[in-house]
Amino acid sequence: MFKRIIASTMLISLLATATPSMDQASAAGTAYHVNVSSGYLNVRNQPSLSGKVYTQLAKGYNVTVTSQGNGWARIIFNGKIGYVSSKYIAAGSTVTKASTVSTDYKSKAISIAKSQMGVKYVWGGTTSSGFDCSGLVTYAFKNAGYNKLPRTAGEMYNVGTKVTSYKPGDLLFYATSGGKKVTHVAIYIGNGQMIHAATSKGVSIASINNSYWKPRFIGAKRL
């Protein structure tokens, strides 16, 4: 009987060593990149399809993986912990290849702006504690590697190339006080939608055909 207990204890110990936990499954600080064929990769608050999606990552976006297990990777994104499907990330030599893709700062800027969804509106705000409209745009593009934007919406309207057919990453400008003076800026994200910091809803997504925003539209610029 005593021998059986020892044998059982050794077997349990062996299994525990051979099957690493979620936190032990990979080395901390490993650089991975998002490898989706199209669209965006969902980041959830727990390693399960039932987990709430709190942001999305564009293809080529680099993340830090702290562990992997059961088909899920625990990542750090913009200082937050989240979980993504392991089959849509890649590591090793492919990270070097991803650096070319990651130069698409517009997709990264959109992804970063989406990661701030729900952050409150603060006049003059430029951090995740609170944003105004141009503060969000500056924050998103700066963290995506584009540091050439001026601070205010009016100043931003003076850069880039004017366009009438929009692509994701284009900047949309509005006159919220009437007339033609630019007082608001948003980022076009595709499908007739924009992400911006609105005084009423904070960082949120709205339709460009919204009854409030459409008649106040001034123009769009491509960086």
Could you confirm whether 33 is annotated as catalytic? no
Assessment of whether the complete model's pTM goes beyond 0.85: no
Give the neighbor-by-neighbor strand order of the sheet with 202-207. Answer: 161-163, 217-222, 171-174, 184-190, 193-198, 202-207
Q: Which of 184, 189, 195, 202 is catalytic?
A: 184
Could you confirm whether 112 is annotated as catalytic? no
Q: Which domains does the chain have, with CATH numbers?
A: 2-103 (2.30.30.40), 110-222 (3.90.1720.10)
* Mean pLDDT, rounded, for 113-128: 93
Please give the pLDDT value at position 34.
67
30 or 100, higher pLDDT? 30
CA atoms 154, 131, 128, 200: torsion sign: negative
Please give the pLDDT value at position 31.
59
* Mean pLDDT, rounded, for 7-11: 37
Confidence of residue 104 (pLDDT cuts 50, 70, 90): confident
Q: Which of 84, 109, 133, 198 is catalytic?
A: 133
Q: Which of 111, 196, 202, 220 is catalytic?
A: 196
Could you confirm whether 184 is annotated as catalytic? yes
Please give the pLDDT value at position 177.
87
Confidence of residue 148 (pLDDT cuts 50, 70, 90): confident
* Average predicted confidence (pLDDT) for the chain: 78
Coil, helix or strand at residue 205: strand
Give the separation between CA 56 and CA 193, rounded to whole angstroms. 16
Please give the pLDDT value at position 25.
35
Give pLDDT tens digits for 130-147. Answer: 999 999 999 999 888 888
Give pLDDT tens digits for 11-58. Answer: 333 323 332 333 333 444 455 666 655 557 888 899 999 988 877 776
Identify whether the C-beta of residue 195 lies closer than 8 Å to the C-beta of residue 187: yes
